[in-house]
Structures are given as structure tokens and as C-alpha cells.
A and B are shown apart, each in its own frame.
Chain A
Amino acid sequence: MADFDAIVVGSGCAGAVAAYELAKAGKSVLVVERGNFAGAKNMTGGRIYGHCLRAVFPDNYDEIPFERKVSHERISLMSPDSNFTIDFASDALLKDGQESYTVLRSTFDQWLAEQAEDAGAEYIYGIAVEELLKDENGKVTGVSAGGDEITADVVVLCDGANSLLAEQAVGAPKPSAAQMAVGVKEVFELPAEEIEKRFQCNPGEGAAWLFAGDCTHGTFGGGIIYTNKESISIGIVAGIEATAEKATVPVYQMLEDLKNRPEVAPVLKGAKLVEHSGHMVPEGGITTMPDLIADGVLIAGDNATMCVNLGYTVRGMDYAVAAGQMAGQAAAKALDAGDTSKAGLQCYVDALENSFVLKDLRQFKNVPNFMEHFDRMFCGYPEMIRDMMNGMFVVDGTPVPPMKKTMMPIVKGVGFMNLFKDVRGAMKAL
């Protein structure tokens, strides 16, 4: 007899939800989380789309400790000396089932873990799982953590982007530098009313603001700003390979420069820095996805590359929550059937295939490759937009030439063919 029906490794977005589903189904569950509390080791941008949580917590969705409802979607194209911003607000962004919220993981993850504990899951905090136990046939039979061996009929591995265990579980190799991005983020405290004033939003509402172009000084990556209840999150997400090999300044300097931009500095003025954090983002997409199951084990979330960076939004948390839910349900079903072999766990993969998770990730399969080679997005287009806007808005008393005469040379600078190719490429990838 195993010690538990199921062991869940990691209590982030995917793990806590998987544990909740298993406990709700009446299974004995142990969660091993390396942080001293859930969220202690976790960082995100970030914004989570509500739909995934409505599906898991239909009855207590209103109790989730969100920061702000995102009412403003902003995207900026930054050149060294200009910034072009789109600020989009729409009733559709606020509708139930379509809405999204900013979160801080320390609070958010603790709430998720609480739901799992209330449903009956047991927790060990502060200890990392070092190894997966296997029987003579290679079936996963438990974990070893802090020198102890604990067994279970099924293990749900949700150890996130920097997974040290996915290789043991499903043979996933260590990701390459090209498949991962590094995120560096700072949290600045600011009173709620001040945030609402600076972002022109109603109480309880806020902005998701993404930057492309010069915030990385020309290499693959972008900037992020999210408004929390009483703080602002600001960060850089930059491709590790591109930054290591081609960037002109380190990631932390990119963040410093973003903070000092004339478009950004006023938003942070007088705000107090309270935390500096770092985390990886899997950006390889579905073509780098490992097997999701093996005998006795399922994997869900960032460790299975269930994350996309589309430039105008980053998504990983809703995929992780949904995958965690399906993993928990599938594991419970396999336990009921008395078969936690790879064949018995196939229902997890089937459920994912039929859901938005794998459908989206398939849809976005060309995004990583497209973005990585979309150099003009980081250097070229921001300058083109700047010159066009300058052509419209700069008035100095010299006679105004026809619009066509102003604009044509600017577009020619980038090249009509390039523009055509990039638009076509974007349409195909997205």
C-alpha cells in the first residue's frame, strides 16, 4: 500500500488546483512545496484570465484575492526617443467569463493552496522534492524529499518553469537558452487612489501595459507594467539566448532604463520599491512540449511549456490552472479505475487535446519562431511609427507637404516587401 493516493509536487497555479481536484474527489493527497508557503518562490507579470478559475471555483470565485480587474489594455512601441501607445478599453474586457485580473503570487498562491487544504489535501512546505522514486519497471512510485521517501499511486508534477524533475518524470531534456526567457520584475508601492489617477481608471480597475522595441535596446523581449491594488509591477521579459549573445546591456539595466523612460518615470514617481524578483518564462511553445504522461506520473504547467508570449499578452497561468484541473481529475479517474500506468493516464492528454489549452498552443505553434526572428519589431518599426507620427504631429510653420510625400519615404525606409512579409508572417503565426 502506498502512503498516499497521490502526491503533487509544487503548489503554484497548476499544482494547487490539481491537489484541490484530487482531494475533492476523495483521494488522499500530499502536496510538497519547496517554498515556506505557497507563492514564496513564485513570480509572474501578471494578469490571469478569469475563465479558468470560474471553471474550478464556481462557488467562491468572488473570494479570490485578485489585485485589480484589467479595464485598460495598453501596448507601446518604443524607439529610443519616442513612444507610441495604444490604450484600449472595452465593455467586453469586463464581462463575466472574459475578464482578467492582476495578481501578486504571494497572496494568490496561498489562497489556491488554502482551497486544496480545505478540501482535504495535506501539505509539506519548505522542502523540495529531490528525486522521483521508480519501481523496477520505471513506473513512478513516489518522491524523495528532505531525506524521506514517500510513496503514492500517482504523482502529479507541477514544478514550474525551472523544472529539475521533468527529465526524471517524462524524459524531458533541460531546455535550451533559445526556448526560455528571463523575467526580472520590481514591485513599487503606491496608494490606490494615486494608481487610479495615474492610470485613469476606476477604483478596483487597472491596466495591463506591454512594451516592445527599445525597452530591450533592440533584442528579443519586451517590457511589462501591471497595476496591483496598492502597488505597480514593472518588468522585462527577454529571450535568454538573444540577451546572452546579442544584447547591449544586461536585463537588470534594461529594467532600470525602462523605469527611467520619460513615459514611465512619472507613473512610478514617489513610489517605493519593495521587491526585486526573477523568474523564467518558457517560450518554446508546443513544438518543444515533452510527453505529458508516463507510468505513474503526469506533468502540467510551465514544466510542460504551457505558456505563450504573444507580445501583446503573456499567458501561462490560465493554461496552468486548466491543465492542473484536468490533471487532478484524470489522476482521480485513473485511481478509481485502479490503473495509473501511462495508458490509464491517457485521459489527461485526451482532455487537454479537447480543451483550449492544447488547441491554443497548437494555434500559436509558429509564434516563438516568428517572434524570435521579428527583429524589426524591436528595432525598425518603432522608428517607422515615430517618423510617421512626427510627420503628422510636428508643426513648425514650414508649409505642410502632402501626406503621401511625408509617409512614403518612411515606409520605404523599412521596405514595402519587409512590411508585407511581416504582416503576413504575423497573421500566419497568430
Chain B
Amino acid sequence: MSRDIKFTVNVDEYLSLNKYEVDETSAHIELVDEPSDEEFDKLIMVCPAALYKRDEEGRKSFDYAGCLECGTCRVACGDTIIKKWENPQPTMGVEYRFG
């Protein structure tokens, strides 16, 4: 069963202000093929970049491109759902101008 998670903020808009060097060729985070709703919901709650999403039809999606490299999804669900969590390739990923 998936939870009814409500939010109004559009974090993508905020992320567009950040500086990124996106690695189009390889994903530094990979999920298992059939993540359970329950575990996926946890990631919707805790990912500070709101990259774990579920649309109205209940379809789950994840986009590593806006990742803040915090590692929260790496520890949030034990070993149930994140198959791979690595640092992005050299010089890639987020680059904070303030921090």
C-alpha cells in the first residue's frame, strides 16, 4: 500500500538555480527493478531534492540528475531498494556556490 503523501512545493524549480555538471552517460544511483511502494514512499519523504516521485496513476520515477549527493536515500531504507550508490564520476554532479 502506498501512502497518500501531500505536498505543494515544486522543488525542481529550486534545483534549477543550482549548479550541476550532469553525467548523461552513467547514473551514480540505481534502484532495484521492482521497488516496494512502502520503501519508495520513505524516499519520497526524505530526499531533500524531491527526486523520488509518484504521479497520479501511482507510477514511480526517480531522476538522479538533480541529486544533491547527500546519501540520505542510501541509509533510509537499509538494503531494500538502493542497488547502487556511488559518488558521481570525476568533476560531475552538484557544485555548491554557497553551501
Contacts and interface: CB of A to CB of B under 8 A. Distances in A.
B97 A275 contact: yes
Contacts, number: 151
Interface residues of A, number: 56
B97 A250 contact: no
Interface residues of B, number: 41
A22 interface: no
A46 to B, nearest CB: 9
Interface in A229-249: 231, 233, 238, 240-241, 243-245, 247, 249
B96 A275 contact: yes
Interface stretch (A77-85, A196-204, A277-285, A379-387): A277-285
Contacts of A40: 94-96, 99
Given A41-B96, A104-B98, A106-B99, A279 B68 contact: yes
Interface in B84-99: 85-87, 90-91, 93-99
SS class of chain B's interface: helix, strand, loop or mixed?
Answer: loop
A41 B94 contact: yes
Interface string B68-80: 1111101111100
B7 A252 contact: yes
Interface stretch (A56-64, A132-140, A183-191): A183-191
A249 B7 contact: yes
Q: Which of B9, B44, B49, B74 has the most CB of A within 10 A?
A: B9
Interface string A37-49: 0011111100000
A279 B7 contact: no
Contact of B8 (A36, A247, A256): A256
B15 interface: yes
B5 A249 contact: yes
Given A130-B87, A244-B45, A274-B17, 20 more contacts: A35-B95, A41-B69, A41-B94, A43-B99, A126-B91, A177-B76, A182-B70, A244-B42, A244-B43, A245-B42, A252-B48, A252-B50, A253-B6, A253-B7, A253-B8, A256-B8, A274-B97, A275-B97, A278-B49, A278-B68
Interface of B: 5-9, 11, 14-15, 17-18, 42-50, 68-72, 74-78, 85-87, 90-91, 93-99
